Amino acid sequence: MTNSAIIAIAAAIAIAISTLGPAIGQGMTAKAAMESIARQPDSAKDIRSTLIISLALMEALTIYGLLIAFMLVSKIA
């Protein structure tokens, strides 16, 4: 296998792993937030704003994985 192929596989693995973890975390967080809103509809505004901030922080992990994949792919060319 050539170096280019190994780097391409590493980029694909970086994207896959950095997407899998935050996706599971975001699903669990959204589920918990919906359950909390169902229990206490009066505090929906506070829960929703906290949810959006936490989802944005989790999404940053995926963006870091994408950045690493771009850096790896740029080494091929």
pLDDT score, position 76 = 82
Exposed e or buried b for every residue in 8-24, given b needs 16+ CB within 10 A?
Answer: eeebeebbeebeeebee
76 or 71, which is more confident?
71
- Residue 21, CA atoms < 13 Å, CB-side half-sphere: 14
Q: What is the mean pLDDT of residues 21-32?
A: 94
What pTM did the predictor assign? 0.76
Tokens found for residue 36: 């909390």
- Cβ neighbour number for residue 6 with a 10 Å cutoff: 12
Q: Is the dihedral of CA 59, 62, 64, 67 positive or negative?
A: negative
Q: Which fold has domain 3-76?
A: F1FO ATP Synthase (1.20.20)
Tokens of 68: 């690493």
If pLDDT is split at 50, 70 and 90, which confidence band does 77 have? Answer: low
Digit-coded pLDDT (tens) for 27-68: 999 999 999 999 999 999 999 999 999 999 999 989 999 999
